[in-house]
Amino acid sequence: MKKIIICTIATAIFASCTQNIKKEDGLTLQSINEQKHIPNQTAISLNDSAVGLLMKTIPFQDSANTELNRKALKYLNKAIKVDSLYQLLYSNKVDVLKNLGRYEEAIKTLNNAARVISGYAEAYAVQAFLYEKMDKLDSANFMYSQALKANQKRIGEEPKNINHQINLAFLLLFTEGKTEALYEIEDIIEKTNDEQAIEFKAFIKSFNRDQFIVNY
């Protein structure tokens, strides 16, 4: 299972610089919704079947990988019909659609997810990344602003949650730039001396937006 870790929005869905397909393992459920919702067991099994197929993908075997992704997509679509509130399914479906180059469908999937899942702030940011990848910058900027508002709402609801604060620094990379993101993370470090924030400061310093979007 290929994953990278940046920060909590990054650990959940914002971290999808590389393939971020996930099984139900109790460790990947980062969002508010996922902490509250108890997934349907059939949906979990269907998701795991999709993940099992995607684990078989081989670099540079485009034809075989495309077929595996298409089969995985069928499992995920079935799972969403069983449990439309299970956020992990949407995350994985978006990753599969990205693998297939179907970015518009991925955005539509995120729109559907945001309608049925309360507080799904990640959906806005991922749409922004996809719009930027397609060079639709006005749409991207609007979705970045929506993601920022959603995350600030989370901070208001849980002001002591360090992950929400780190997420804000991550989003500032896209809305305000690296300097503002560094100011934010340095303020967090000064107040909390949090190890994750210290590590994320190094990430911000080396962050390359163009490369991030290309790899997304």
At 166, phi and psi to the nearest 5?
-65, -40
Residue 17, pLDDT score: 35
79, 50 Cβ separation under 8 angstroms = yes
Kind plus residue range of the DSSP H or E element containing 13: none
Question: How far is 106 from 98, CA to CA, in rounded Å?
Answer: 7
Question: How far is 144 from 158, CA to CA, in rounded Å?
Answer: 21
Residue 26, pLDDT score: 35
Q: Is the predicted pLDDT of residue 27 greater than 50, yes or no?
A: no
Residue 20, pLDDT score: 52
Question: Per-residue pLDDT tens for 55-106?
Answer: 999 988 999 999 999 999 999 999 999 999 999 999 999 999 999 999 999 9
Residue 8, pLDDT score: 44
- Structure tokens, 51: 């993940």
- Which residues 6+ apart lie within 8 Å of 172 measured at CB? 148, 180, 181, 184
What fold does the segment set 8-215 form as a domain?
A: 1.25.40
* pLDDT tier at 7, thresholds 50, 70, 90: very low
For the chain, the maximum distance between any two Cα atoms, rounded to a whole number of angstroms, is 51
Give residue 216's Cα distance to chain centre.
10
Residue 21, pLDDT score: 62
Residue 213, pLDDT score: 95
Closest to 189 measured CA to CA, from 179, 178, 176, 202: 202
Average pLDDT of the chain, as a whole number:
85
Question: Per-residue pLDDT tens for 105-127?
Answer: 999 999 999 888 877 888 999 99
Question: Per-residue pLDDT tens for 182-201?
Answer: 999 999 999 999 999 999 99
Question: How far is 78 from 101, CA to CA, in rounded Å?
Answer: 21
DSSP state of 207: -
CA 120 to each of CA 55, 87, 195: distance values in angstroms, whole numbers, following the listed order: 26, 8, 26
Q: What is the pTM of this model?
A: 0.83
Residues in the chain: 216
Mean pLDDT of 153-171: 91
- Which residues 6+ apart lie within 8 Å of 183 measured at CB? none
Please compute Rg for the chain using Cα positions.
Answer: 17
- Structure tokens, 203: 């990430």
